[in-house]
Homo-oligomer: A and B are copies of this chain.
Amino acid sequence: MEKLTIIKVGGKIVEEKDSLQAFLHDFAAIKGHKVLVHGGGRSATALASKLGIESVMVNGRRITDSETLNVVIMVYGGLVNKTIVAQLQALDINALGLTGADMNYMLSEKRPVEEIDYGFVGDVKAVDGSILADLIAKNIVPVLAPLTHDKKGNLLNTNADTIAGETAKALARYFDVTLVYCFEKKGVLLNEHDDESVISDINHAQFEYFVSEGIIRGGMIPKLENAFDAIASGVKQVIITRADSIDGQSGTKII
């Protein structure tokens, strides 16, 4: 099988002109097939604020009412996605910007209202890997916005880490997939106050130990759970690293 690298990069990197350009140069330099999954939360918050729409976050997730949904469609599906596509084209990368609605790539369902009503937020139900695999084999580079759809006419705001993980799993049938989560640190740290204390590799038993000891906590826990889930579903390796180190030579490898 051919190699495929899937990079997930957060909003902070792709929303600032200089960091975006540097990142896209590094991304363009990755050999072989590749996919980019991006966020865009800061731009969404900024646009919402200009429009007088309050951004409400619960557990790091945006409460997405219908006005906020329009904002994230405009920012994630429009501004951030198409800006990346145009800039990759300038680097001779044949990018194609997609949401989950495009070609029915990623189907989700609106999260049920329990304690919290997240609004138009989608939990992924099904991914059609074949359609992306065909395009990738033709040297198309998909650029995925964090939006899915319910096939009832609604777009749904969906976590970009989840989209990256589900994409990796769906494409593991077709490629040797390396999934890279970009993060503000160099990797998973043993000591959160020491940026150099990167854990070079981690297996599931070690992960559980580190969590029980409180060494790994907060937002890193779901990120690593996604990573182990991807490995269990046939993804070859998952790397957590900094956006300036996506060459696969550094960061934390999940094994």
Encode A77-89 as 1/0 by CB contact (under 8 A) with B: 1110111011101
A223 to chain B, nearest CB (A): 27
Instruction: Report if A99 contacts B (CB, 8 A).
Output: yes
Q: Is the CB of A152 within 8 A of B90?
A: yes
A96 to chain B, nearest CB (A): 5
Instruction: Report if A34 contacts B (CB, 8 A).
Output: no
In Å, the complex CA distance between A55 and B85 comes to 26
Instruction: Return chain B residues, CB-CB under 8 Å to A29.
Output: none
Picked from B95, B149, B151, the residue with its CB within 8 Å of the CB of A102 is: B95
In Å, the complex CA distance between A81 and B155 comes to 12
Instruction: Report if A101 contacts B (CB, 8 A).
Output: yes
Q: Is the CB of A104 within 8 A of B99?
A: no
Instruction: Report if A94 contacts B (CB, 8 A).
Output: yes
Instruction: Report if A103 contacts B (CB, 8 A).
Output: yes
In Å, the complex CA distance between A85 and B99 comes to 10
Encode A147-174 as 1/0 by CB contact (under 8 A) with B: 1010111110000000000000000000
- Copies of this protein in the assembly total 2
Q: Is the CB of B154 within 8 A of A86?
A: yes
Least CB separation from A103: chain B residue: B96
Instruction: Report if A51 contacts B (CB, 8 A).
Output: yes
In Å, the complex CA distance between A4 and B104 comes to 21
Instruction: Return chain B residues, CB-CB under 8 Å to A98.
Output: 96
Chain B CB within 10 Å, residue with most, of A78, A90, A94, A104: A78
Q: Is the CB of A149 within 8 A of B86?
A: yes
A50 to chain B, nearest CB (A): 6
In Å, the complex CA distance between A52 and B178 comes to 44
With A70-B79, A96-B98 given, can you name 4 additional A-B contacts, CB distance below 8 Å?
A73-B79, A74-B75, A96-B103, A97-B102
